[in-house]
Structure 1
Amino acid sequence: MNRTVVALLAGTGILLSPAIASAHISVASGPGFANTTQEIVFGVGHGCAGADTYAVRIEIPAGVTSVRPERSDFGKVSVEKNAAGDVTAVVWQKPDQELLEGDIGYYKLAVRFKVPNQPFSTLYFPTHQTCKASDGTISTTDWVGTPTSGAGVEPAPALNIVPARKAGWNKFMVPSAISDLSVYFGDAQIVWKGTAAYSPNPATMEMVKATSGVTELTELQANVEVWVKY
C-alpha cells in the first residue's frame, strides 16, 4: 500500500457517517459481522396506502441461529419454528387499541441472532407487512425481492455480512467477486489491493487519484487478499 496516501488519510481525520435507512422495511443497524452474535434492527419506514402498520412477519433464512427476538413497544412478539425447533419467522402484532389513525409512525423491530460465518455475502429476510386502516380495512405488502426477482417485487431487507474486524488495519481474503465495493466497505477508511485503493469517502479518493503510482480500485475478483483500515 502507498505510504503517502496512508499518511494523508491519517492527517485529515476523515470520518464516515453511517448510511441513512430507506423508507422501505430494511436493516437499519448496519452490516452483520460473520460468526458473531449481534442485535439486528429492522426499520419499518411507513405503513400501507395511508394506513398504520398492524403486524410484521420476518422470515429467518437458513444458517441464522440462536434467534432471540426483542420485545417492542410496537406490540407482542412471537416466533414460528420448524419440526427441528429452529426459528423460521418472527412476528410482531400491534394491539387494535394502539393503532394510529394514519400512516405517521416509524418502527424499529430488533432480533438478536448469530450471523452465519459467510463474510462478503448478503442475507435476505423476506418480510410481510400488514396494515389496518381506521375503518378496519386490511392491506398487506410483501417485501420479498432479491437481485434475481423480476420487476415490480418490493425488495426484502438485506443484511450485508462483513468479517469481524478491529480498529486499524485488517487483512481479509475475499472469497467471491465484488463489483460494488461500497456494499461491503461502506464504512472503511480505505481498502488496498496491491497498488490500487478504494475509499467510500470522495476526499480520500481524490488523494488516491492524485498520488503517483496508485490506481483506483473499482472491483475485486474472487480469492484475492486486501488490506482494509477502519
Structure 2
Amino acid sequence: MKSSLPTLFAVASLVAGTAAQAHISVTGPGPAVAGTTYDAQLTISHGCSGADTYRVKVRIPAGVTSVRPLDSTFGKATVEKDGNGQVTSITWTRGNAADVLPADTHAHKLALRARLPDTPFTTVYFPTTQVCRDAQGRETTVEWVGTSGHGGHDGADSGSTPQAEPAPELFVYPARTPGWNKYTVETHVHDFAVFRDALIVWAGDSAYSPNPVTKALIETEAGTKVLTEIHPGTEIWVKY
C-alpha cells in the first residue's frame, strides 16, 4: 500500500454504481458477502411472448448452502435435494391455472435465503427455467442459463458477446470494515465495478478509484500506475 497522495481522501467521495438488470435478476438488501447468509430476491421482469409466467425453476449453484425458499404471492415453493440433503433447485408454481394472468402485464418477485460460498470476488449463477402459459393454456419455456459476456467480474469471457438468455447472477464480495481492508484475490478481476463503493484500491504501486477526481490524482502521481486488472494471487488494499 502506498502512503503518498496526501490530498487524495480530502477530495474523494463514494460513488454509487448501478448494475445492469437482466430479464431475471438477483438482488438483495446489500452486498452479497462471502460466507454469510443472504436474502436473495429474484425479479421476473416479464413473461414470454405476451404470456404470463406460470412456473419458475431455479437451480442452486455449488457452494450455496442452507437454502430456504419463501412462498410468495406468485405461488408456493418446492425444493429438490441431492443424496446429501443439499437443495439443488427450487420451483415456484402458481396455485392453479386460474391464477395465470390473461396477458404479460406483471413482474413477479421470488425470494430465498441461503449461505453464500466463502469465495470473494467470484460470480455465482442461478440457471433458471421460466414457463409461461397463455389464455388458451399453451405453454412456452425459456431457459435463462447463459453465463458468457454478462458481468462475471472474475470471468475470462466477460468481454465476449452476451448470450440472449443470461442466467441470473450474483457477485460475491469480500467482508469489509470502514477504513483499510487487506485481501488476497484468488481470481482474475478486470471489471472494477466491484469496487464502485471504495475510495481507493492499491496493488503494489498501482491504484484505482471510481471517483473521477481521485482517479485524476492517481494518473498524475509520480511513480504510481493505474490499476486496470488484478491477477490471481495478488495482494490488494482497499479503503472503504
- In 1: Cα distance, 2:140 partner to 2:213 partner: 46
* 1:137 maps to amino acid: R
Gaps of at least 5 residues in structure 2 are 149-156
Give the alignment of 1:67-216 within 5 angstroms: 67-95=67-95, 96-147=97-148, 152=163, 154-182=165-193, 184-216=194-226
Separation (CA, whole Å) in 2 of partners of 1:154 and 1:102: 21
Quote how far apart the aligned CAs of 1:220 are. Answer: 1.0
- Does the C-alpha gap of structure 1 residues 151 and 187 become closer, same or farther in structure 2, counting only changes over 3 Å? closer
CA-CA distance at 1:48 after TM superposition: 1.0
**TM-score, structure 1 normalization:** 0.87
Question: SS in structure 2 opposite 1:212?
Answer: coil
How far does the alpha carbon of each residue in 1:22-42 deviate from its partner, in whole angstroms, 9 at most, with x for none?
Answer: 141122236421111111222
Alpha carbons of 1:6 and 1:146: their partners in 2 closer, same or farther (altered >3 Å)? Answer: farther
* Structure 2 CA distance for partners of 1:127 and 1:99, relative to 1, 3 Å: same
Task: Give me the whole-angstrom Cα distance separating, in 2, the residues matched to 1:137 and 1:33.
Answer: 41
Residue in 1 that maps onto 2:239:
229
Q: Would the aligned equivalents of 1:144 and 1:153 in 2 still touch at CA under 8 Å? A: no
**1:154 maps to amino acid:** E
Q: How many residues align?
A: 228
1:20 to 1:133, Cα distance in 2 relative to 1, 3 A? farther
Return structure 1 stretches of 4+ with deviation > 6 angstroms: 148-151
Calculate the aligned-residue CA RMSD, in Å. Answer: 2.5
**Are the counterparts in 2 of residues 38 and 113 from structure 1 also a CA contact under 8 Å?**
yes
* Deviation of the 1:152 alpha carbon: 4.9
5+ residue gaps in structure 1?
Answer: none
Shift of 1:20: 4.0
Q: CA deviation at 1:18?
A: 4.3
Quote the sequence identity (%): 46
SS in 1 for 2:145: strand
